[in-house]
């Protein structure tokens, strides 16, 4: 019997796949536990529509991420940091502080986990910080670290 999987099933396949299973396995395990449905023409058409919708949503998310990356290129976030004599700084700037500053100054919602710092920022100056917006899109944000007055 051909079955369209509604959930990931170990040793069978992933969600949305069409698999061939024995009639007893389908009747006694897959169908009663709502792990899959029979692959008839109506269910096949539903699956095709769901895949088309998922592709459309994924394309829209990619376009939104690319637009946000272009917007980030034009923005600069200013973060202040305490420093002592000779420009020596106390502590470092974290991705959490950068995300908070971007929200406050530019009204951008950035996830702190998506901000990629190669090493912690421990000095005054201007830095280019990568922000992972999508699996295929990485934006660059300028961070200017100034002395706190």
Residue 56's pLDDT is: 96
Residue 113's pLDDT is: 93
Q: Tokens for 48?
A: 């095709």
**What distance in Å separates the CA atoms of residue 86 and residue 149, rounded to the nearest whole number?**
15
* pLDDT tens per residue, range 29-56: 999 999 999 999 999 999 999 999 999 9
pTM, two decimals, is: 0.70
pLDDT average, residue stretch 140-144: 92
Residue 85's pLDDT is: 77
Q: Share the mean pLDDT of the chain.
A: 90
SS3 77: strand
């Amino acid at each position: 019997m051909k079955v369209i999987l509604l959930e990931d099933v170990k040793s069978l396949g992933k969600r949305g796949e069409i698999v061939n299973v024995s009639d007893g396995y389908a009747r006694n395990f897959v169908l009663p536990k709502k792990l899959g449905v029979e692959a008839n023409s109506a269910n096949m058409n539903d699956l095709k529509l769901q895949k088309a919708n998922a592709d459309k949503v994924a394309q829209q998310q990619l376009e939104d991420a690319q637009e946000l990356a272009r917007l980030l290129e034009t923005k600069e976030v200013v973060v202040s940091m305490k420093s002592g004599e000779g420009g020596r700084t106390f502590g470092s700037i974290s991705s959490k502080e950068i995300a908070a500053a971007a929200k406050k100054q530019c009204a951008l919602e950035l996830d702190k986990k998506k901000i990629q710092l190669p090493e912690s920022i421990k000095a005054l100056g201007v830095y280019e910080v990568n922000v992972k917006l999508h699996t295929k899109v990485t934006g660059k944000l300028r961070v200017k670290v100034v002395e706190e007055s």
